[in-house]
Structure formats: structure tokens, C-alpha cells
Amino acid sequence: MSQRHSLKDRVALVTGGGSGIGRAAAIRLAEAGARVAILSRTEEELREVCDEIGKSGGECLAVVGDVSDYASLTKAVKKIERSFGRLDTVFANAGVNGVWAPLDELEPDEWDKTLRINLTGTFLTVKAALPLLKKQGGSVVVCASVNGTRMFSNTGATAYACSKAGQVAFARMTALELAKYKIRVNTVLPGAITTEIEDNTERREVEDEKEPVEFPAGAIPLTDGKPGSPEQVADVVLFLASDAASHVTGVDIFVDGGQSLLQG
């Protein structure tokens, strides 16, 4: 690994670090030399990821927490400070697909839950981490999506898409606001990725609402339709966290193999 991509002596927080993209990012950041704190509501998953990082010679701190609960996040950051003494990188990755349904079927509390975890959770995560980040500067990477930014053809995903569009706006606003503290804020936007989040999506009455979308064969041009991997997203997160991206802020990087260029 090049020196520019090294995270030696740095500390990273990954929310939603127990599975999928968060897990892959935590492992990749640890491989680059970072001491990694991973936060999730599922303790067993956290232990498994920390064990894997530890077996490879890395340092990992498991923190059970909830990104929709500010008190939980401030407690987590204090634990990181006690354990590692600093915080350089935040990967705000925790999120849910939530309920996908037509507007007349989508309940207000379902809308609120999706926005609370995805968008408010990003705000609360960065806000809680800010006092430590300000001490020496650092990098914030927000995990948004092609949905709500380039793609609008997933019928019923209104709450999810709005939460992801909001994350992009949040990242751009804070990139400018926090630049004076040498804190960079960027967004990674995955397309179809092989993770478990799709299995946790509740879809209701969306088939009749779909508009036909036609595009050339191979919905993901680079791979002839094959979804990307969490590790491919993690590679971009590492770049944005490292000095290789030292002059990069307020940028959106799509990791979708060209999918959103066809399906928007």
C-alpha cells in the first residue's frame, strides 16, 4: 500500500460496521493501518468483525449504539476518545432501505423512521464526532446511494430516495462549513451491491405503480449486470479517508459500474 493511502496512527469510526459495506470498509481501513471503531445495534456482528480485524493484526473497538439516538452517539465518541485518544475519519454508513410503497400506502411513521435513521442519523453521527475531528482535521465519508441522486425509477422508494438526496446536500453544505477546520466531507454513492440490506426491504403494492424503464442489455455496463461488491465501495472510502484525497471535498463518487447512467 502506498504511503499516500496509509492510515497509520489514525482512528476511524464506521457506523453500521457489522455487515455489508460497513464491514468491508472497517476491514479495509484497518488494513491501511487505522485503529477502527465500529458501531452497530447488533453486538454479535460487531464481535465477529473485530475478531477478523484482530486476527490480521489490527485494532478494533466494538461499540453498540444507535445512530438515531444522539445520546448513544455521544457516549460512543467518548468511548473512542478513552480508548484511542483521537478521531480522524468518520464513515457515516448506517442506514435502512425501509418500506417501499406508493404514497397512499406509505405510513407517516414509516417515512419518519427511514429519514430518522438515514438522514438524521448522518447529522447526529457527524455532530457527535465533530469535537474530536476539529482537533486535528480529518475526513467524513457519507454513504448515500444512486437512488434519489441519479436514479428515480425505483417506484415506492420515495422515503429512501429523499433520505439519500438529503445526505448529499448535507455533505456538500458541511464540506464548505468545515473546511476551515481541515475536515473534508465527501459522499460515496453505491449502486447495486451484494449486501443483506435488500433482504430487509419491505415492499408493498409497488408492482402496479412501476413505470417501464428500457435500457440496453446489461443493467450494469461494466459487469454485464453483475452487482458490485462491498469491497469495491470500501476501496473508495479508503481513498477518501487518506491523504491521496487531501484536496478533495464536497465530491460525490458513484460506485455503480455505470448503472445509474442507464437507469436514471
Q: What is the reported pLDDT for 213?
A: 39
Cβ-based neighbour number of residue 1 at 10 Å: 12
Cβ-based neighbour number of residue 182 at 10 Å: 14
Q: What is the reported pLDDT for 206?
A: 52
Per-residue pLDDT of the chain (264 residues; tens, 9 = 90+): 678 899 999 999 999 999 999 999 999 999 999 999 999 999 999 999 999 999 999 999 999 999 999 999 999 999 999 999 999 999 999 999 999 999 999 999 999 999 999 999 999 999 999 999 999 999 999 999 999 999 998 889 999 999 999 999 999 999 999 999 999 999 999 999 997 655 555 655 555 544 443 434 457 999 988 999 999 999 999 999 999 999 999 999 999 999 999 876
Instruction: Give the 3-state secondary structure of residue 219.
Output: coil
Cβ-based neighbour number of residue 53 at 10 Å: 24
Q: Clarify whether 160 is annotated catalytic.
A: yes
Cβ-based neighbour number of residue 185 at 10 Å: 26
Q: Residue 144 has what DSSP assignment? A: -
User: What's the structural domain count of the chain?
Assistant: 1
The residue segments making up the domain with residue 193 are 3-263
User: What is the secondary structure of 55-89 as a DSSP string?
Assistant: HTT--EEEEE--TT-HHHHHHHHHHHHHHHS---E
Measured between alpha carbons, how far is 90 from 140 in angstroms, rounded to an integer? 5
User: Position of cell 465518541?
Assistant: 77
- Point out the catalytic residue in the list 91, 111, 160, 239: 160
For residue 168, give the CATH number of its domain: 3.40.50.720
Q: Which of 196, 84, 163 is nearest to 63 (CA)?
A: 84
Measured between alpha carbons, how far is 74 from 89 in angstroms, rounded to an integer? 16
E-strand stretches of the chain: 11-15, 35-40, 60-64, 89-92, 99-100, 138-143, 183-190, 202-203, 252-255
Q: Would you mind telling me the total number of residues written for the chain in this entry?
A: 264
Q: What is the reported pLDDT for 263?
A: 74
